């Protein structure tokens, strides 16, 4: 029994050492990417909620950039109908009509 245990130990040691030093399976790498993206989104939510709850977007500032990114980007007038004014954000390219 002692020889069996010694051989078992040696084989298991080799197997686990190879596993530990080898590269991660593609499923693990994909899961890590998903988790990293989730964590990044969670970090952004706090400041976004704060801006939404505590302030109003100033006139002529892109609401999307203001609330989601914390940027004060001035909207540019673009051609539109005679009755509708159109504006576009040079940062995120959102278009607004008024």
pLDDT score of 22: 79
Query: 32: part of which helix (H) or strand (E)?
Result: helix 26-54
pLDDT tens-digit readout, 9-34: 998 998 888 888 878 888 999 999 99
pLDDT score of 80: 77
Q: How confident is the model at residue 82 (pLDDT cuts 50, 70, 90)?
A: confident
Structure tokens at 14: 């080799």
Q: Are 58 and 72 in contact (CB under 8 A)?
A: yes
Mean pLDDT of the chain: 92
Predicted TM-score of the model (pTM)? 0.62
Q: Which of 60, 41, 61, 63 is nearest to 52 (CA)?
A: 63
């Amino acid at each position: 029994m002692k020889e069996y245990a010694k051989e078992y130990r040696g084989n298991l040691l080799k197997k686990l050492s190879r596993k530990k030093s080898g590269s991660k399976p593609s499923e693990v790498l994909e899961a890590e990417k998903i988790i990293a993206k989730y964590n990044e989104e969670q970090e952004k939510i706090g400041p976004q909620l704060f801006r939404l709850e505590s302030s109003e977007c100033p006139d002529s500032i892109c609401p999307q950039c203001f609330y989601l990114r914390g940027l004060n980007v001035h909207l540019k007038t673009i051609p539109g109908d005679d009755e509708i004014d159109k504006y576009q954000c040079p940062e995120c390219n959102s278009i607004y009509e008024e």
